[in-house]
Amino acid sequence: MANEKYLEEKLRNRVKNLGGVALKFYSPFYTGMPDRIVLMPGGKAWFVELKSDGKKPSPRQAHVLGELQSLGFKIFVVDNDEKLNNCINEIANGTN
């Protein structure tokens, strides 16, 4: 059973170990943005929305995630350890 804070801390540490940063992302005048922006050497960026196990993005979050994707940004929604591993593998491979 993975909760959001646990996954967020794990993401932060694993990205740091890869030489990047997973910054808390907060946009005061535009709600629904993902929780973290991952920045890696070479100018690569990913957005990550973290959720407690089995929880889905709200309708507003889903709308904003779609907007970012349509701009060509890579988004992960992570609600368990397996999805976190997949996310970290893609970031480590730089496949955004």
As a whole number of angstroms, the distance between CA 96 and CA 56 comes to: 23
Shortest CB 71 distance to Mg ion, Å: 20
Q: Which is nearer to Mg ion, 50 or 87 (CB)?
A: 50
Residue 50, interface with Mg ion (CB under 5 A)?
Answer: yes
Shortest CB 51 distance to Mg ion, Å: 5
Tokens 């890579």 -> residue: 74
Q: Which long-range contacts (CB under 8 A, 24 or more apart) does 17-24 make?
A: 18/88, 18/91, 18/92, 20/91, 22/48
Q: Which is nearer to Mg ion, 43 or 54 (CB)?
A: 54
Q: Which stretches of the chain are DSSP H helices?
A: 4-17, 59-70, 81-93
Distances (CA, A) of 51 to 15, 43, 66, 79: 18, 26, 17, 5
Of the candidate spans 27-35, 39-47, 65-73, 82-90, the one that interacts with Mg ion by CB under 5 A turns out to be 27-35
Of the candidate spans 12-20, 32-40, 62-70, 73-81, the one that interacts with Mg ion by CB under 5 A turns out to be 32-40
User: Using CB under 5 A, which of 7, 10, 20, 35 touches Mg ion?
Assistant: 35
Binding site for Mg ion (CB under 5 A): 35, 50
